[in-house]
Amino acid sequence: MVACLSIPGFSLRAPLLGRPELKGKPVALAPVPGTRPLLGSCTRAAQEAGVRPGMRLSEALATCPQLELVEQDPAGVEEAWEAVLRRLEGIGADPRPALVWRAALEAVTERAVELRAQIESVAGPSRRLVLAGGWARNPAARSVKRAMLGPFDWPQVTQAGARGAALLAGIAAGRFAGIDDLPDPGRRPAAGRLEPERSPR
């Protein structure tokens, strides 16, 4: 079996894995010292600001003063590429559905790891991690998330996202005074059930 894998801008993606604070910002690979002052790969935000790969450094900074430069890291890029190849080779020539499902879970959880790091870079270290949503009921998903994210709390609320949206709507509608007035997951609000509005006959 022959496979072709193309990841645009991988030489920049790899160094950015350890720089969550640069997520969404205009970033480009700095020129290699001793060579022509030309930029390497750049992020979408940099391209939207008018910066292009191969642009002279002075022109790029004049075009986008907020441009962040990242030093090229050939060794880190090679290590990241080897990790990608190991994952592909680990699937095998005849992947079972379970292996494909596992790979999908790991890819989604990697994104969650990046998002968590980005949030913590702004808000500080998290004190507690709560896992919710439909996937939380899947043992395989919880296993992958526990291995990659660490310990977490798993609430027994069936639809945590829907419940949270409903409670916030209750605050907006004046049903609850605020967050401190919200009912615990184990009890229902004291008010009666709302009856559907009937049109007059």
**Residue 137 vs residues 14, 140, 141, 145, 160: alpha-carbon distances, Å:** 32, 9, 8, 12, 11
Supply the pTM of this predicted model.
Answer: 0.43
pLDDT at 196: 41
Q: How far apart are CA 48 and CA 64, in angstroms?
A: 10
pLDDT at 69: 92
pLDDT tens string for the chain (201 positions)?
Answer: 566 666 777 788 878 877 878 888 899 999 988 888 899 888 888 998 999 999 999 999 999 999 999 888 888 788 877 877 777 776 666 667 777 777 788 888 888 888 888 788 888 888 888 887 777 778 888 888 888 888 888 777 777 778 888 999 999 999 999 888 888 776 555 544 443 434 444
